[in-house]
């Protein structure tokens, strides 16, 4: 690492700041400056009615550029003034909208210095209308990254994808997601199991995820229904909400396992919810670097995960988890059955997962690596 002679100013731009991934990443990015030679001004373009993490924006001291609608271009003048007043050496963008905003500012001649960005994977549309425009989103993002000074990617898997799309591999830094270690009151497990009407002798298979097509939860439901043919001591808990929830409820009813499945809905107490699980399952059809998987590792749970994206960068097959092919009900059922019937295997995987989390995927590990990367970017921007 080549430190710069003085603090480098970075403007971090967001189009909206929704609850979840964007807000979490913004907070972590802000915390990483303690390990870097960079100071950050957070700027967010947003509308009044947009779902937004107000608490995070307040904590970051973010500058808000208000707009009346998505077609309101008044943010151009406001952002131009922010750039003039703050005079950043670099601007960092996150996601298609942020990339597009800064590219437009470059075309207009309002910003001519270095651009860096984060890349969390391809855009996966959740509606039919968005599917039509998703190829444009992905192609533009790839083009933008090729013309950026540097990119931080959340997994080796996403780095390989970008290299295939023509991005110089030397401009891509892989920094896996990291989350804070937490302690959960042991009494919470019993409280939640009572809330979900789960008996003391019943085994809980659970997942905490969006109920969207890419998460593959329907395959988990099918595998679970097969398990119940030979076992009457298992319950499936689905923590989360999303576009597939109605279809999943119909599937549960069709398979005759309504009494064995709990739809827990969206929860902010995911760490507590995981304490009530006996097995964590991640049946995703695509992932980049799953926060849900890290949460299960942190909780020290035996895990079944699909072999997609960066999952096996978090958990290694046979060491920290049982890894199965995506969209394969037979393999998913078999892996869950093994963990239910082999307590020794389940305990070994759970302990290994917890140890690997502490060594590789804590928040502090991510912050140190991100701070070092920002300092390197600052050095490059000064050349």
Domain total in the chain:
2
The 3-state DSSP class for residue 372 equals: helix
d(CA 78, CA 198): 54
DSSP letters spanning 229-275:
TT-SSEEEEEEB--TTHHHHHHHHHHTT-GGGEEEEE--S-HHHHHH
Residues 86 and 229 in one domain: no
Residues 335 and 287 in one domain: yes
* Domain annotation covers residue 267: yes
- Domain of residue 93 covers 8-178+363-381
Residues 296 and 343 in one domain: yes
Per-residue pLDDT averaged across 135-161, rounded?
95
In the block, tokens 């270095």 appear at: 114
Residues 279 and 376 in one domain: no
Instruction: Indicate if the pLDDT at residue 277 is higher than 50.
Output: yes
pLDDT at 1: 41
* Domain annotation covers residue 193: yes
Give Cα 217 distance to the centre of its chain.
17
Residues 152 and 259 in one domain: no
**154-179 burial, b if ≥16 CB within 10 A, otherwise e?**
bbbbbbebbeeeebeeebbbbbbbbb
Instruction: Indicate if the pLDDT at residue 129 is higher than 80.
Output: no
Burial class for 302, CB neighbours closer than 10 Å (0-12, 13-18, 19+) = buried
Tell me: the pLDDT tens digits for 336-361? 999 999 999 999 999 999 999 999 99
The 10 Å Cβ neighbour count of residue 327 is: 15
Burial class for 132, CB neighbours closer than 10 Å (0-12, 13-18, 19+) = exposed
Q: Give the helix ranges, DSSP H, for the chain.
A: 21-31, 54-60, 75-86, 95-107, 128-146, 156-164, 187-195, 217-227, 245-254, 270-275, 291-298, 311-314, 329-341, 343-360, 363-381
Instruction: Indicate if the pLDDT at residue 267 is higher than 50.
Output: yes
* Domain annotation covers residue 158: yes
**In the chain, pLDDT over 90 holds for what percent of residues?**
85
Residues 224 and 138 in one domain: no
Contact, 69 vs 47, CB < 8 A? Answer: yes
* Domain annotation covers residue 2: no
Contact, 52 vs 17, CB < 8 A? Answer: yes
Contact, 157 vs 167, CB < 8 A? Answer: no
Task: Tell me which of 11-20, 84-93, 138-147, 313-322 is least confident.
Answer: 11-20
Residues 373 and 317 in one domain: no
Residue scoring higher pLDDT (83 or 133): 83
* Domain annotation covers residue 142: yes
The 10 Å Cβ neighbour count of residue 143 is: 15
**216-240 burial, b if ≥16 CB within 10 A, otherwise e?**
bbbbbbbbbbbbbeeeeebbbbbbb
For residue 95, which phi and psi values (nearest 5 degrees)?
85, 165
The 3-state DSSP class for residue 180 equals: coil
- In 3D space, the residue among 163, 159, 188 whose CA is nearest the CA of residue 173 turns out to be 159
Residues 132 and 191 in one domain: no
CATH code: domain of residue 301: 3.40.50.2000
Task: Tell me which of 98-102, 133-137, 149-153, 279-283 is least confident.
Answer: 133-137
d(CA 88, CA 43): 12
Instruction: Indicate if the pLDDT at residue 208 is higher than 60.
Output: yes
Q: CB neighbours of 53 closer than 8 A, spacing ≥ 6?
A: 17, 18, 19, 20, 22, 23
Residues 88 and 172 in one domain: yes
pLDDT at 19: 59
Residues 30 and 90 in one domain: yes
Residues 148 and 62 in one domain: yes
Per-residue pLDDT averaged across 238-246, rounded?
95
* Domain annotation covers residue 1: no
DSSP letters spanning 73-90:
TTHHHHHHHHHHHH--SE
Q: CB neighbours of 278 closer than 8 A, spacing ≥ 6?
A: 203, 204, 205, 301, 302, 346
Residues 127 and 49 in one domain: yes
Residue scoring higher pLDDT (244 or 6): 244
């Amino acid at each position: 690492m080549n430190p710069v002679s003085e603090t480098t100013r970075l403007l971090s731009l967001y189009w909206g700041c929704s609850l979840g991934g964007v807000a979490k990443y913004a907070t972590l990015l802000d915390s990483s400056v303690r390990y870097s030679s960079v100071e950050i001004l957070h700027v967010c373009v947003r509308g009044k009615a947009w779902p937004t993490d107000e608490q995070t924006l307040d904590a970051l001291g973010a500058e808000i550029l208000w707009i009346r609608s998505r077609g309101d271009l008044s943010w151009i003048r406001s952002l131009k003034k922010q750039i003039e007043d703050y005079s950043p050496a670099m601007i960092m963008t996150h996601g298609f909208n942020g990339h597009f905003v800064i590219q437009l500012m470059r075309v207009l001649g309002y910003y001519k210095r270095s651009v860096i960005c984060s890349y969390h994977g391809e855009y996966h549309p959740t509606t039919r209308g968005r599917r039509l425009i998703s190829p444009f989103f992905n192609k533009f993002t790839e083009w933008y990254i090729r013309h950026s000074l540097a990119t931080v990617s959340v997994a080796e898997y996403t780095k390989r994808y970008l290299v295939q799309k023509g991005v110089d591999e030397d401009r891509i830094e892989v920094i896996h997601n990291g989350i804070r270690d937490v302690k959960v009151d042991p009494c919470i497990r019993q409280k939640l199991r009572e809330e979900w009407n789960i008996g003391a002798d019943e085994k809980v298979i659970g997942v905490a995820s969006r109920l969207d097509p890419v998460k593959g939860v329907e395959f988990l439901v099918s595998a679970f229904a097969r398990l119940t043919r030979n076992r009457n001591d298992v319950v499936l808990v689905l923590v989360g909400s999303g576009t597939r929830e109605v279809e999943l409820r119909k599937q549960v009813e069709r398979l005759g396992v309504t009494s064995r499945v709990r739809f827990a809905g969206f929860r902010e107490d995911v760490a507590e919810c995981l304490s009530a699980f006996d097995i964590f399952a991640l049946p995703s059809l695509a992932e980049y670097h799953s926060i849900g998987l890290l949460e299960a590792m942190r909780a020290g749970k035996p895990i079944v995960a699909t072999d997609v994206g960066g999952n096996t960068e978090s958990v290694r097959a046979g060491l920290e988890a049982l890894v199965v092919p995506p969209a394969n009900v037979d393999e998913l059922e078999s892996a869950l059955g093994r963990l239910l019937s082999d307590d020794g295997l389940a305990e070994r995987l759970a302990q290994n997962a917890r140890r690997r989390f502490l060594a590789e995927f804590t928040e502090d590990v991510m912050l140190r690596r991100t701070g070092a990367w920002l300092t390197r970017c600052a050095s490059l921007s000064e050349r």
